[in-house]
Amino acid sequence: MYKNILLPASILSGSIIGAGIFSLPFVFNKFGLLAGFISLIVFAFIYALIYFIYADVALRTEGEHRFVGYSKIYLGKSGFVVSIFVGLVQLLLIMTVYIILAPSFTQLIFGGSYVAHLLFFWLVGSLMMLFNTRKIAWFEFLIVSGILSIIFLVFLFGVNNADASFMQNFNFNMDSLGVLGAVIFALAGVMVVPEVVAYFRESSSPLKYIKRSLLLGSFLPALAYIAFVLGILGLSKSVSSDSISGLVGSAPEWLIVFLGCLGFLSLASSYVLVGLNTRHIFEYDFSLSANLSKALVIFIPPVFYFLGITGFTEVVSFTGSIFIPLEIILLILIWIKANKLRPTNDFFDSRITKATIPFLLAVFLIVLVYAIIKLIN
């Protein structure tokens, strides 16, 4: 179970639990806890279906590829071009978000200048992403274990010290759909699915365990987020947009330090896995050398930052409501084409997948249209 389920599930959960967790208490408090919690469970299930579809594509296709490569194989030149935008650029922006946010947490522990902490986080993350998937899985298991322990501590302390008022925000109306962008971003781990498949190949683990590891990796973050939101809302008299700054002065100093550790661990975990996938896109899908691929994935995010991409909330909102729905719609189209070209497959019953496709397309088209309307208005 440890090798065949927990380690690969840690790869997925480690990539999911990242910057998005810190936006949820503020967003849920604003738009309603009921809408937030329902969205988390529903989209954990939806994402599990998406992860099954992506793993299906990876197992059907010979050779090593990532999202951009699959788009080129199954959707041609137009799919390749669009995938660069919604796939590669998205990953680089997400890595930039982690660099932006990381110093806010490490400064809670050590103090010092913002830029020094930014460079420290970048250096540690860059070194870790140079390992192969199998070795990174061990790091991720330890990191995810630490993350869940801290979240559990925050939950216990927050609920124990809360009054009943924070539980009254269970209203639900059309404005409650405002939680979707944050939830979709916070639960997103689509790009890392090929790394889970790569783990099974590198470790020679039986492929029959992939479904269970993807399912566990999908729902574990959703449950952890619910506990984190309840803990933070129980602790905060005024919930800040980053969840942490609003606690300074009201929560015990030791808890602030633990939250700093949570921030660093969750961001480092996601940064490494997103970086690993981005590196493999350069290497496998663009046929660049291993060294050049490593150099690009290491240096592009800090270059983005120093060029002026510094808005955490803006990048999270745009990525969650625009990039990710487009990415998933493209992935569904890839599966449809793969199923026609390579119909033989033992991983996932194509009839079940075909039955869920209209539902999945409808969900992410609605999210995309809603986001576009909000942007226009």
What is the model's pLDDT at position 312? 62
Give the mean pLDDT of the chain. 83
The domain defined by 2-376 carries CATH number 1.20.1740.10: yes
pLDDT for residue 157 is more than 70: yes
Phi first, then psi: what are they for 207, rounded to 5°?
-65, -20
More confident residue, 277 or 108: 277
Q: How far apart are CA 110 and CA 116, in angstroms?
A: 11
DSSP states of 92-146 as a string?
HHHHHHHHHHHHHHHHHHH---HHHHHHHHHHHHHHHTTS-HHHHHHHHHHHHHH
CB of 225 closer than 8 Å to CB of 152: no
What is the model's pLDDT at position 219? 93
243-268 burial by CB neighbour count: b if 16+ within 10 A, else e? bbebbeeebeeebbebbbbbbbbbbb
As a whole number, mean pLDDT of residues 4-30 equals: 85
pLDDT for residue 168 is more than 60: no
The verdict on pTM exceeding 0.75 is: yes
For 139, half-sphere exposure in the C-beta direction (CA atoms, 13 angstrom radius) is 21
What is the model's pLDDT at position 223? 94
Lowest-confidence region among 62-66, 150-154, 184-188, 367-371:
367-371
As a whole number, mean pLDDT of residues 276-298 equals: 92
Q: How far apart are CA 73 and CA 271, in angstroms?
A: 27
What is the model's pLDDT at position 315? 67
As a whole number, mean pLDDT of residues 204-227 equals: 89
What is the model's pLDDT at position 105? 83
Q: Return the percentage of the chain with pLDDT > 90, whole number.
A: 19
